[in-house]
Amino acid sequence: MPRVSILFTCYNHIKFAPIAWQSILDQTFQDYEIIAIDDGSTDGTREWLETQQNATIIFNEKNLGTYGTLNVGLQAAKGEFVAIFNDDDVWLPDKLEKQVAMLDANPKIGLVHTDGYFIDGEGNERHDSPLGFDFPRTETGDILLALMYANSIIASAVLARKQCFDELGGFNESYFGSGDWEMWYRICEKYDAGYLQEPLTLYRVHGSNASHKLERIWRDDEKLREWIGGRIAGYAGRFGESELIAAEAHNEACLGTVKVLGGNAAAGRSHYKRSLSLEPGRWKSRARIFASYLPTPLFRKLL
């Protein structure tokens, strides 16, 4: 049985997939299986995959989306650990070796993620924040509070214990782009997270990234933040009272924003007011209540 199952998800990235694949072959840790799942590519990716050796190749009969595709891979995975790898990203050679070592040394850790940086379509490092945020970073330990604020983990940077998926279930297929955030959140409710402060994962930003489809991401965020909000009461005693109140206030404010962006300004204002009841000093929430009366395109520009 291999120690690591690599779920290599593919969808119309023939320009980048061979580079990603080579970065798997170049890993210093070699006790792995590759499970490549193509979700209906039409650009030659399927034909290219058929030429690759020493891998399990799965072609979805219909387009399942990111999280349905990952669940197909989880069903086939035989390893002790599972690595998620999008076909347009890149790993540096010692990524898996260092992640496996951290998991072996720390049984309380459910997943390990790494530092990294953004690259463009030609593989050049980007020194800006092309998706509106810096490359996510956390501490090692209980990071659930950090995950209440934002998705602090890049999918291709993760190596997780297979038992986490066996215990908690796979990815929620009803999400378009936030299902990884929800999955890491569920894992980190029960396990610590490990973080390697080394740039071992390169996240490629190009014109067809799912992250650019903002309207669908906003709907995802609304659903996820409502779900998080329903769980916060259960964390009493796990975190300090003031920390938990601040996280809940932030979650309510973010929920207000995605409600307004989705066209429901009245509901958005209700959530902003809830955030202010928890933390009266949130000046952004006050400002956004007034901004919510503006047309949605103008509200968006003011964010």
The two structure tokens encoding residue 40: 């209906």
> Quick one: 39 and 83 in the same domain?
yes
User: Residue 80 to residues 6, 76, 166: CA-CA distances in angstroms?
Assistant: 11, 12, 11
Q: 65 versus 217: which is more confidently predicted?
A: 65
> Quick one: 198 and 125 in the same domain?
yes
pLDDT category of residue 32 using cuts at 50, 70 and 90: very high
Q: Tell me, what amino acid is at 158?
A: V
User: Once rounded to an integer, what is the mean pLDDT over residues 264-271?
Assistant: 97
Domain that holds residue 286: 214-302
pTM over 0.85: yes
Residue-level pLDDT at 303: 85
Among 212, 233, 266, identify where a domain stops.
212
> Quick one: 235 and 170 in the same domain?
no
Residue-level pLDDT at 146: 96
> Quick one: 219 and 289 in the same domain?
yes
Residue-level pLDDT at 71: 98
Strands 56-59 and 32-38: parallel
Kindly report, residue by residue over 186-195, the tens digit of the pLDDT: 999 999 999 9
pLDDT category of residue 216 using cuts at 50, 70 and 90: confident
User: Once rounded to an integer, what is the mean pLDDT over residues 200-216?
Assistant: 76
Which helix (H) or strand (E) segment is 290 a member of? Answer: helix 283-291
Q: Structural domain tally of the chain?
A: 2
> Quick one: 76 and 184 in the same domain?
yes
Provide, rounded to the nearest whole percent, the portion of the chain with pLDDT above 70. Answer: 98
> Quick one: 47 and 159 in the same domain?
yes
**Vertex 251, ends 246 and 253: CA angle to 5°?**
95
Position 226 pLDDT exceeds 60: yes
Q: Tell me, what amino acid is at 83?
A: A
pLDDT category of residue 208 using cuts at 50, 70 and 90: low
User: Once rounded to an integer, what is the mean pLDDT over residues 123-129?
Assistant: 90
User: Once rounded to an integer, what is the mean pLDDT over residues 293-303?
Assistant: 89
> Quick one: 171 and 205 in the same domain?
yes
Residue-level pLDDT at 274: 98
Position 3 pLDDT exceeds 90: yes
Kindly report, residue by residue over 143-182, the tens digit of the pLDDT: 999 999 999 999 999 999 999 999 999 999 999 999 999 9
Q: What rounded mean pLDDT belongs to the chain?
A: 95
CATH code of the domain containing 117: 3.90.550.10
Position 207 pLDDT exceeds 90: no
Position 210 pLDDT exceeds 80: no
The two structure tokens encoding residue 247: 């996280």
8 A C-beta contact, residue 137 and residue 113? no
Full DSSP string of 191-234? SEEEEEEEEEEEEE--TT-GGG-HHHHHHHHHHHHHHHHTTGGG
> Quick one: 164 and 143 in the same domain?
yes
8 A C-beta contact, residue 255 and residue 224? no
